[in-house]
A and B are shown apart, each in its own frame.
Chain A
Amino acid sequence: MATYASGARHLTQSVKSLGGFVVVTLLTFVGLMAITFFIGRVIPIDPVLSVVGDRATQEQYDAAKIAMGLDRPLILQFVSYVGDVFQGNLGQSVSTNRPVADDLARVFPATLEMATLGIMIGVGLGVPLGVWAAARQGTWIDQVIRVFALLGYSVPAFWLGLVGLVVFYANLGWVAGPGRVDIFYDGLVEPVTGLLLVDSAMVGDWDVFWSALDHLILPAAILGFFSLAYIARMTRSFMLDQLGQEYITTARVKGVSEWRVIWTHGFRPIRVPLITVIGLSYAALLEGSVMIETVFSWPGIGNYLTVALLNADMNAVLGATLVIGSVFILINKISDVLYRVLDPRSR
């Protein structure tokens, strides 16, 4: 009976915490909308002017203003904006003449695909390198890894992108050039998720899949290198801190092998701070790297946002900002959940 009672208590507890979780997330999201919306309204860009153009008459201008609802009080505009957003309506983009939501559904997956592969490379190499450097602190291995990571900090993205293209595309021909996929494969696969790799794999069109991967691998590797730099350095410093702890000595006293000392005793406790670092790096990649997207003609959100900003396309800017903000909220929430799973002290 006792187990049933405690099981039920557990369940109500998790439902309660899940409810609190949803409420907090929604509040954060509305806060994000408020900030982006009001910033969008106070900056000196006239959204009406960008719709009607410079040569419209005053009557045309006023009519457009009323049609867009911009004559109403700001707070009412915000309320109707929130309502629209929750119905998936982000307004019309001035520069592409399409609903912003449709545009974002096209550009965000492109960035998502690149950022995801990038962070996988960054974590897959950065974490082991950081741990290795810490375990061999002060040796030449440590120095080489540190210099390598420092390069990732200091080399400009566009330069590395161009050099990467020159070497691996133009000279060696190992990878495909700019763009998401070879031109004759373009539009062959019906977008479902918008992630070309996933979509093509789902319908089994492997030609498209390999072509897309061929195009993706170089920009993703370059993004991965940048996040690797940060992740490896942070891993190294977390790990050095851990390896100086008393319980590492305890493990050595027990006669535990060095491999196990490092990975089981040293690494396990740093998973929690690492999640923060990885989450933030991933979020930064999901913002879209304008440099990389420009160099590789990648139709991602970074590019989209930049073009929208230059065209004073406020609906598009707000929409893209909202998506990026939501990504940050989501990643933070996932980190919170993972903390609890990984650290018994936070349960």
Chain B
Amino acid sequence: MTGPLLEIENLRVSFPTPKGRVDVVKGLSFTLGRERLGIVGESGSGKSMTGRAILRLIRRPGRQSADKMIFDGIDLNSLSEKQMRTLRGARISMIMQDPKFSLNPVMTIGAQIAEALKTHERLARRDVKARVLEMLHAVRINDPERVVGLYPHEVSGGMGQRIMIAMMLIPRPDLLIADEPTSALDVSVQAQVLDLIDELVREKGMGLILISHDLNLVARYCDRILVMHAGEVVESCAAADLHKASHPYTRGLLASVPKMEETRDELPVLDRSAWSGT
């Protein structure tokens, strides 16, 4: 396929406050091929809002605008809500943060996964079931026949997140946004889940946007990295070149990561005066 998968120019997301509208994303621009892009930033930096804005899921009273938002040749800005819905899930999908809250508590897992598929494809019931079981297998769930009948409160966090991945990948999207997919999980399960996402994304040749606050993790799983701070991209570089980062915020972040063979007596604290002047 020629041309980028996703092209975004001057994306803005704002929310009203008593003091007027405040931009939480201030003119973000990037292009994405069928590659893995990491967006890193602290909480409140606007990274999650960027993910949602790509799906045009900023709810009122929030507002989003962009000079250009083109996905695979389709201008997302010009689509009606209905057209946008045919894209959501089917072509662009998003893995949510915490399976405890992001799975519907009163629907069986099987029904929730099947819904993602049935929303976009007309299939016989038997075929839907086969696809769901196959997908659960693909996310390393050993006894999918049992799991489809369970409710979300009956599975562990790691399994819940694998179910979430299955649900979001079953309509075979081209772009997957993963919004902090592992921050609600135990450290021991994090790597499993990320390896799984990585493997499935590579296998199917999808684009991935991995949103995280964890610089190391993003550097390990992504080809390119955007560092966001206060709604703006402060650094954009290849993952391999992260150590050459120039912005003081990125440098500060990197410096505060402990090393295996630490020679410093004290880890430096992020010095915010270096770039924001406060």
Interface residues of A, Cβ cutoff 8 Å to B: 138, 245-247, 249-258, 264-265, 268-269, 342-345
Contact segment of B94-102, B213-221, B227-235, B251-259: B94-102
Q: List 10 A-B contacts (CB under 8 A).
A: A246-B97, A249-B52, A249-B57, A249-B96, A250-B164, A251-B104, A251-B115, A258-B81, A343-B106, A344-B151
Decide: B168 and A253 in contact? CB cutoff 8 A.
Answer: yes
Q: How far is the CA of A265 from the CA of B171 in the complex (A)?
A: 19
Decide: B119 and A269 in contact? CB cutoff 8 A.
Answer: no
Given contacts A247-B105, A344-B151, 7 further A-B contacts (CB under 8 A): A250-B164, A250-B167, A254-B168, A255-B119, A256-B119, A344-B106, A344-B108
Total residue contacts A-B, CB cutoff 8 A: 81
Decide: B102 and A250 in contact? CB cutoff 8 A.
Answer: yes
B residues 50-71 near A (Cβ < 8 Å) are 52, 55, 57, 60-61
Give every chain B residue within 8 A of A342 (Cβ-Cβ). 106
Give every chain B residue within 8 A of A245 (Cβ-Cβ). 101
Chain B nearest CB, measured from A252 CB (Å): 6
Interface residue SS majority, chain A: helix
Measured as residues with beta carbon below 8 angstroms from the partner, the interface class of chain B is: 35 or more
Chain A nearest CB, measured from B177 CB (Å): 9
Decide: A265 and B88 in contact? CB cutoff 8 A.
Answer: no
B103 within 8 A of A: yes
Decide: B98 and A257 in contact? CB cutoff 8 A.
Answer: no
Chain A nearest CB, measured from B53 CB (Å): 13
Q: A255-B86, A255-B90 are in contact. Are A250 and B104 (CB under 8 A)?
A: yes
Decide: B86 and A345 in contact? CB cutoff 8 A.
Answer: no
Q: How far is the CA of A245 from the CA of B88 in the complex (A)?
A: 19
Kindly report which residue of chain B lies nearest to residue A265, judged by CB atoms. B104
B residues 133-181 near A (Cβ < 8 Å) are 151, 153, 164, 167-168, 171
Q: How far is the CA of A134 from the CA of B115 in the complex (A)?
A: 24
Chain A nearest CB, measured from B16 CB (Å): 11
Decide: A255 and B87 in contact? CB cutoff 8 A.
Answer: yes
B107 within 8 A of A: yes
